[in-house]
């Protein structure tokens, strides 16, 4: 099977950095990404959203900050870093939910009273660094983005894709999904 160079680069990033800890959770970056992609696929999401679920934390694979950065009071801004890296490689239906997945957490904390209480402790720590729940104006602005609902779906998979020892497909088994979402001009 011939992979698009962008897909090969993604697979290489997971091979090099995917075994790192996922921010205080009991899974690695790769395990979390794969669980989120599996949840998206099981939910009947389109290929673009399955790809977004797989790639939503790619920013963590691109920086050199320690895994405990949030505990040190550092917001790694992984959603912005990942979004910028992806935008020249993948279609907006992939990159926008990735860019918005942290904002989606802040949105849900502001709009669903029980949501914040259900977050894992590491997710609550990062929420504080990310600005906390949205204000009403931020909620309205978020809802103006055409991909806001996709970002909410992605966020819910992000919240649940943290099961220690769960079996999933390999990153390479999502290559066709990634290939289908690459921008035609991406290299």
| pLDDT tens by residue, 16-56 | 988 877 666 788 989 999 999 999 999 999 999 999 999 99
pLDDT, tens digit, for every residue of 2-21? 789 999 999 999 999 888 77
What structural domains and CATH numbers belong to the chain? 5-181 (1.10.3210.10)
- Residue written as token pair 């990310």: 130
Q: What is the pTM of this model?
A: 0.91
What whole-number percentage of the chain has pLDDT above 90?
68
The closest of 45, 158, 43, 147 to 100, measured between CA atoms, is: 147
Continuous H helices in the chain? 5-17, 29-42, 47-55, 58-62, 78-87, 92-111, 115-118, 121-129, 136-142, 148-160, 175-181
Give the contacts of 61 (CB within 8 A, at least 6 positions apart): 13, 14, 16, 17, 18, 20, 29
CB within 8 Å of 65: residues ≥ 6 apart: 74, 76
Which pLDDT does position 1 carry in this prediction? 58
CB contact at 8 A, 93 and 148: no
């Amino acid at each position: 099977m011939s992979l698009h160079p962008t897909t090969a680069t993604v697979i290489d990033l997971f091979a090099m950095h995917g075994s790192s800890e996922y921010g205080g959770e009991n899974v690695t970056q790769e395990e979390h990404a794969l669980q989120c992609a599996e949840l998206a696929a099981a939910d009947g999401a389109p290929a673009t959203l399955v790809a977004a679920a797989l790639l939503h934390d790619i920013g963590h694979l691109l920086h050199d900050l320690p895994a405990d950065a949030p505990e040190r009071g550092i917001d790694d801004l992984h959603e912005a870093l990942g979004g910028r890296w992806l935008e020249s490689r993948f279609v907006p239906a992939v990159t926008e939910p990735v860019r918005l997945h942290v904002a989606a957490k802040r949105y849900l904390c502001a709009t669903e009273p029980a949501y914040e209480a259900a977050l894992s402790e590491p997710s609550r720590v990062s929420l504080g660094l990310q600005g906390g729940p949205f204000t009403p104006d931020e909620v309205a602005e978020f809802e103006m983005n055409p991909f806001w609902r996709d970002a909410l779906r992605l966020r819910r998979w992000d919240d649940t894709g943290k099961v220690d020892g769960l079996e999933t497909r390999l990153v390479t088994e999502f290559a066709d999904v990634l290939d289908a979402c690459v921008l035609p001009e991406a290299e």
